[in-house]
Amino acid sequence: MTVNVVCMKWGSAYDATYVNKLFYMVKRNLPIDFRFICITDDSWGIVREVECVALPDLPMQEPYASRAWKKLLLFSKNLGKISGKTLFLDLDIVIVDKIDCFFTETDNSFHIIKDWGQREKDCIVGNSSVFLFEFGKYPHIFEDFAKNMELVFKNHRNEQTYISRIIKDINFWPEEWVRSYKSHCFYKKQLRSLQNIFMEAKIPSGAKIIAFHGNPKPHQAMLEKFFMGMRVAKGAPWVAEHWK
């Protein structure tokens, strides 16, 4: 069985370094045959082992164009002739353990991790930094979005809220598999106390992937020290060990 691992890169927020490092992290940690695909508007600098697919045009006005709404292109038809089980990964993650469980311990329904902060009354919100789906199974998502874009923007805080509401066979992985760098890699007493300003991040038990949503990004977390709000965090050597 060959599976797909897909990422997306557009605009100037991330350069090819992030795509390349993500590919090599997957290569080290996914012991099954896989096809690695980057859907992008600029393939310059991306290593040859990565299959690049042109990012389709999806006209959107700011502030939506610079946000993650373009992820919904993953549900459009005939994108890069992709089919089968597909794991989507954000560029700003660090893989710290084997990830074959994301494929082998799930069925063909949509799988995602529960978001760590966002809550909605009518649904459990998944965090779209990591999700698994059968490519081509959900064309109605993109079709609905493209047809009703302004209404979708008005009624949904972000693309992951929209996905969480519209997909009916959504399932959630064990929470420990994907953890937030900011929310789970520091002791809670460190986050509550302004006096303990030199914080040091640890890999949470059972974590496979660490998500760096917002700031810092992996390249910042590798520094000797960096600011997290009013606190100063120590650089985490394990980020450099895995993010390469």
Does the structure show a pLDDT above 70 at 190? Answer: no
What pLDDT shows up at residue 215? Answer: 86
Average pLDDT of span 66-72: 89
What pLDDT shows up at residue 198? Answer: 56
Q: Supply φ then ψ for residue 114, to 5 degrees.
A: -65, 140
Average pLDDT of span 197-224: 88
The two three-digit tokens of residue 24, written as one number: 């090599």
The domain made up of 3-175 has a fold known as: Spore Coat Polysaccharide Biosynthesis Protein SpsA; Chain A (3.90.550)
Place of tokens 């990422």: 7
The two three-digit tokens of residue 172, written as one number: 């959630």
In sign, the C-alpha dihedral spanning 226, 128, 104, 78 is: negative
**Which is higher by pLDDT, 78 or 17?**
17
Using omega within 30 degrees of 0 as the cis cutoff, is the peptide bond preceding 216 cis? yes
Beta-bridged to residue 111, according to DSSP, are 132, 171
What pLDDT shows up at residue 166? Answer: 96
What pLDDT shows up at residue 7? Answer: 98
How would you classify residue 140: left for phi > 0, otherwise alpha for psi between -120 and 50, otherwise beta?
alpha
- What span, in angstroms and rounded, lies between the C-alpha atoms of 129 and 177? 12
**Which is higher by pLDDT, 106 or 198?**
106
What pLDDT shows up at residue 225? Answer: 76
How many residues can be counted in the chain?
244
What Cα–Cα distance (Å) separates residue 80 from each residue in 37, 41, 135?
9, 13, 11
What pLDDT shows up at residue 242? Answer: 98
Identify the CA nearest to 161 among candidates 68, 57, 59: 68
What pLDDT shows up at residue 81? Answer: 86
Average pLDDT of span 119-137: 94
- pLDDT tens for 82-116 read 999 999 999 999 999 999 999 999 888 999 999 99
Does the structure show a pLDDT above 70 at 64? Answer: yes
What pLDDT shows up at residue 192? Answer: 52
- What span, in angstroms and rounded, lies between the C-alpha atoms of 233 and 201? 8
What pLDDT shows up at residue 197? Answer: 53
Beta-bridged to residue 110, according to DSSP, are 170
Residues ≥6 apart with Cβ < 8 Å to 104: 32
Going by the DSSP 8-state scheme, the letter that residue 57 receives in this structure is: P
Cβ–Cβ under 8 Å, residues 235 and 222? yes
Does the structure show a pLDDT above 90 at 233? Answer: no
Identify the CA nearest to 77 among candidates 143, 122, 29, 136: 136
What percent of the chain lies above the pLDDT cut of 70?
94
The two three-digit tokens of residue 242, written as one number: 């895995």
Domain boundaries, the chain: 3-175, 177-242
What pLDDT shows up at residue 164? Answer: 96
What pLDDT shows up at residue 35? Answer: 97
What pLDDT shows up at residue 188? Answer: 58
